[in-house]
């Protein structure tokens, strides 16, 4: 069987562009014992896709000629595994393609839910990342001030809404006044500052009159540097990503690190969502309750068509998305 | 009554030199209610002295014309406080001077011990900083690899010896082969690497065959950047100081922050010794036991004469000292 797939033609040396990708066709291997053939329904688009092109992280690096890796929701079409049956919906580590043959060990069976995309957003990695990072790493106390960068992003929208639901003051950092207005008016953030405004550091100070207790950092770089100056003593920085650094050949560290950590006795801590897998059921239950009560609104940003995946990723790195970005490759089962 | 004192004539814009200081004489004010007149015995010389010239930290900044601030061991000569009596030995927040008039609230009565200087080193801030930072922030487990920078410094010598006493592998980072040999031969470090050697990153890798679990960072800057690449997943970085940045007009942050924190799920945490004051008695008891058993050797570096305080500080910033540096201003009581 043949499939369309998007390969990384060349690894980017600087900014990522569509020229680094190529749509190609490939003959799929025959399904072996322990493997399944899957049909892609939705692919998750993440800043991490770009990081994987920089070298090995918590997963292996992507090399020129490889199909782009992705987490995806798929339907099983053929199975030579006792763990999965035809028709199962799985969350799979696969590639940007219409169909893939993968090890059944790389596919987790998902429940049937009214809207599949929710498994990728509020009840998926985005929502769990927000929940575990904010609660288990940040340890918020009601009344504290929580700042989140990439606030309109897949994780940021939930970090802010969870923090509000817990009784914190919430300030977002996002690019552009429109996004900021949307976060305040639609999602209930107390304020939002636009890091593209040269005077944004003053705006941040004004928006956080009692300083910052928790900073949920998705971007690193100069935004992190600016926020560090406003942190309260004993503040916590939840390190979730460094998207400002992924698409750059000249990464730069905040010049006030580790100085500010010493002077203000801060804690900066990184995590990945799998570290807290034992608490996933708690996270999903909490999110279900908040969605049901209206305290949390589900935010998704779905781009149609496999061929648009490169543009969807490039746009995400530029901050185009509002909420969890996905690419729809096939119809829901 | 008149006293000699060392004032900061001019704040340094770049590297600190003796020209920034001036010996002067001043008439002391009359002792008021709640105050004491003290005679300085030993003054603590710390990288923090330099940091205080950069601006407000956890204490107020030093300005041009001020006498240099210091923590010192003093004898009370005259008292208008009910808390302190003539002849008491106190640890005081005072200035670089033969005599000072200070608020009794800024002086803590110390026990009489056979050797006063031990109150400034192993049983003082240096020893407590090493103990609390390593144990309460770093949380070492026997068998783990602990790396400490400024390893021959006032805190570093105790961090390494405590970690060894707890069953960890200990690797020091220090400037110069002689210091390294001293740390290994005299203090029992497993290895020491010389950050002045251009190939030191390879030497660090070789000295830590199982990676690094805890890095006790006294220096920040490029040393921190290099160590970050060798940290194990879930490693801890105890942020105690950033001496590489204090004497610089162009601070630079490690370029791999916060990226490494995210990818390796590290925890970086700052502290100051006062945060753990409730555990000070535990720390002193542990250090007394280790000194008595010979597991920990006391390391002190005493410079004679108030007039030599500027050179003592400048030398400390250049890494001249071995163990806790102090300036002796007057004889023990």
Q: Is B135 a residue whose pLDDT tops 70? A: yes
Please compute the mean of the pLDDT values over residues B274-290 and round it to a whole number: 95
- Chain B residues in contact with A243 by the CB 8 A cut-off are none
CA distances from A18 to A22, A32, A309, A327 (A): 8, 34, 10, 16
Domain range A125-275+285-290, its CATH number among 2.140.10.10, 3.90.1200.10, 3.40.50.720, 3.40.50.1970: 3.40.50.720
Task: Band the pLDDT of B36: cuts 50, 70, 90.
Answer: very high
Task: Band the pLDDT of B218: cuts 50, 70, 90.
Answer: very high
Collect all residues from B whose CB is shorter than 8 A from any CB in A: 57-58, 217, 220, 224-225, 237, 239-242, 245, 251-259, 261-272, 275
Which parts of chain A have pLDDT scores under 50? none
Q: Is B59 a residue whose pLDDT tops 90? A: no
What percent of chain B clears pLDDT 70, i.e. is strictly above it?
A: 98
Residue intervals in chain A for CATH 3.90.180.10 = 2-118+300-328
**What is the 3 state secondary structure string of chain A?**
CEEEEEEECCCCCCCCCHHHEEEEEEECCCCCCCEEEEEEEEEECCHHHHHHCCCCCCCCCCCCCCECEEEEEEEEEEECCCCCCCCCEEEEEEECECEEEEEHHHEEECCCCCCHHHHCCCCCHHHHHHHHHHHHHHCCCCCCEEEEECCCECCHHHHHHHHHHCCCEEEEEECCHHHHHHHHHCCCCCEEEECCCCCHHHHHHHHCCCCEEEEEECCCHHHHHHHHCCEEEEEEEEECCCHHHHCCCCCCECCCCCHHHHHHCCEEEECCHHHHHHHHHHHHHHHHHHHHHCCCCCCEEEEECHHHHHHHHHHHHCCCCCEEEEEECCCCC
Please compute the mean of the pLDDT values over residues B60-76 and round it to a whole number: 94
Looking at the partner chain, which of A224, A241, A258 has a beta carbon nearest the beta carbon of B242?
A: A258
Does the interface ipTM go beyond 0.90?
A: no
Residue A57, pLDDT score: 67
Digit-coded pLDDT (tens) for A10-28 = 999 889 999 999 999 999 9
CATH superfamily ID and name for A2-118+300-328: Medium-chain alcohol dehydrogenases, catalytic domain (3.90.180.10)
Q: Is B244 a residue whose pLDDT tops 90? A: no
Q: Is B68 a residue whose pLDDT tops 70? A: yes
Residue intervals in chain B for CATH 3.90.180.10 = 2-118+299-328
Residue B242, pLDDT score: 78
Provide the whole-model pTM: 0.88
- Chain B residues in contact with A237 by the CB 8 A cut-off are 258
User: Nearest residue of A to residue B275 by CA position?
Assistant: A265
Looking at the partner chain, which of A252, A265, A269 has a beta carbon nearest the beta carbon of B270?
A: A265
Residue A118, pLDDT score: 95
Closest chain A C-alpha to B224 CA, distance in angstroms: 9
With CB atoms and an 8 Å threshold, state whether B251 touches A253: no
Task: Band the pLDDT of B57: cuts 50, 70, 90.
Answer: low
Fold of B2-118+299-328: Quinone Oxidoreductase; Chain A, domain 1 (3.90.180)
Residue intervals in chain A for CATH 3.40.50.720 = 125-275+285-290
């Amino acid at each position: 069987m043949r499939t369309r797939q998007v390969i990384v033609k060349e690894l980017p040396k600087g900014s990522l562009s569509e020229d680094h990708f190529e749509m190609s066709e490939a003959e799929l291997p025959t399904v072996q014992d322990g493997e399944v053939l899957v049909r892609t329904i939705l692919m998750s688009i993440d800043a991490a896709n770009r990081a994987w092109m920089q070298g090995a992280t918590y997963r292996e690096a992507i090399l020129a000629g490889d199909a782009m890796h992705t987490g995806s929701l798929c339907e099983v079409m053929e199975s030579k595994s006792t763990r999965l049956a035809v028709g199962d919906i799985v969350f799979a580590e696969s590639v940007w393609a219409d169909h893939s043959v993968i090890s059944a060990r790389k596919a987790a069976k998902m429940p049937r839910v009214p809207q599949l995309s929710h498994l990728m957003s509020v009840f998926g990695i985005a929502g769990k990342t927000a929940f575990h990072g904010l609660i288990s790493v940040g340890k918020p106390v009601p009344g504290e001030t929580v700042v989140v960068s990439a606030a309109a992003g897949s994780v940021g929208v939930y970090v802010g809404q969870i923090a509000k639901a817990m009784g914190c003051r919430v300030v977002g950092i996002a690019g552009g006044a429109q996004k900021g207005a949307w976060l305040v008016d639609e999602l209930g953030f107390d304020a939002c500052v636009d890091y593209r405004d040269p005077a944004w550091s003053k705006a941040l100070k004004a928006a956080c009159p009692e300083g910052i207790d928790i900073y949920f950092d998705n971007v690193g770089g100069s935004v992190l540097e600016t926020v560090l100056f406003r942190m309260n003593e004993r503040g916590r920085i939840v390190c979730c990503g460094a998207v400002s650094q992924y698409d750059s050949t000249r990464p730069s560290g905040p010049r006030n690190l580790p100085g500010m950590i010493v002077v203000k006795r801060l804690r900066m801590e990184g995590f990945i969502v799998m570290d807290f897998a034992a608490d996933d059921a708690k996270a999903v239950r909490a999110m279900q309750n908040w969605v049901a009560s209206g305290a949390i609104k589900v935010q998704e940003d779905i781009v149609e068509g496999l061929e648009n995946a490169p543009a969807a990723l490039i746009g995400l790195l530029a901050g185009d998305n509002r909420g969890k970005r996905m690419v729809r490759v096939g119809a829901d089962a």
